[in-house]
Amino acid sequence: MTGVLPIALENATKAMPVLMGLDKEYVGVMHLHKDVTENVLEETVGKFIGKIVQVPPVKSAVARRPREREIKFFDILEFEEKDVLFKVGCEAGTYIRKLCDQIGRSLGSGAHMSELRRTRVGDFTEDQSHSLMKIKDAYEFWREGDEKLLREILIPVEFAIPNVKKVFVKDSAISSITNGSPVYPNGITRIQKDIERGETVAVYSLKEELVALGIAKMASEEILKRKKGVSIRTDRVFMERGIYPNNK
């Protein structure tokens, strides 16, 4: 596979679980084992839009249990003889090679994936991706005193996780959160709507620094109304201790 590959550095690797949950888009080539008409192909592909069930491949790192994944769209860009150039949008953890096998089986004659390029991960598109060569050059330029290019390449973890709902906390609440304490309702200034209990949320300072990732113990509306109790259980702390004063 080629294409968009987000790589987290150092402290940002703590965000891997949420980075892995980002939706993906791919452009690929599916090779059909027998000729079919465009109508049949489109009709068959149409059956795979929405929720599908996949069993992870033999050589995968996860348990080989059937699991559900959502295919947002599957567009046929070009269809020539037995080769189908497609663009697919899907939920994280969808196996595209498997999907092509499934489509082939549904056609009755078989198919396999022959090429795959990832064109989007979350909000990151190919336009924002950089070759290794360019990245290396940017690093060298910085070493020689010009940081402009490297600054463009490094994306703060704060801006890389749009799929996680946000909670902003007061300066005075930060110190204890960096020590692993939970977030209480009175420490919160603003929250995104529709947070559900059990959901992973990102805790931000008012300067938009990522303080921690946590698990919501209250829904958004509850956080607004309640004065006491644990709103968010702190899970992974990003901010170092001692950046904000302890006011207690």
For residue 39, the minimal CB distance to another protein (Å) is 30
Given the structure tokens 């598109």, which residue do they identify? 125
Q: Which is nearer to another protein, 41 or 100 (CB)?
A: 100
- Nearer to another protein by C-beta: 36 or 204? 204
CB 242, min distance to another protein, A: 10
Based on CB atoms, which residue is closest to another protein, 35 or 193? 193
Taking the least distance from each CB to another protein, the nearer of 43 and 208 is 208
How far apart CA 239 and CA 204 sit, in angstroms, is: 10
Q: What is the nearest approach in angstroms of another protein to the Cβ of residue 143?
A: 10
Nearest to 158 by CA among 104, 105, 202: 202
DSSP secondary structure string for all residues of 56-100: PPTT-SS----EEEEEEEEEEEEEETTEEEEEEEE-TT--HHHHH
Smallest distance, Å, CB 117 to another protein? 9
CA dist., res. 231 & res. 234, Å (int): 10
Question: In angstroms, how far is CA 45 from the centroid of its own chain?
Answer: 25
Element (H, E) at 27: strand 24-32
Q: Tokens at residue 165, please?
A: 């709902």
Q: Which of 84, 64, 68, 66 is nearest to 76 (CA)?
A: 84
Judged by CB, which is closer to another protein: 41, or 101? 101
Closest CB to another protein among 74 and 168?
A: 168
Q: Minimum distance between the CB of residue 12 and another protein, rounded to whole angstroms?
A: 5
Q: How far is the CB of 243 from another protein (least distance, A)?
A: 5
CA distance 96 to 103: 10
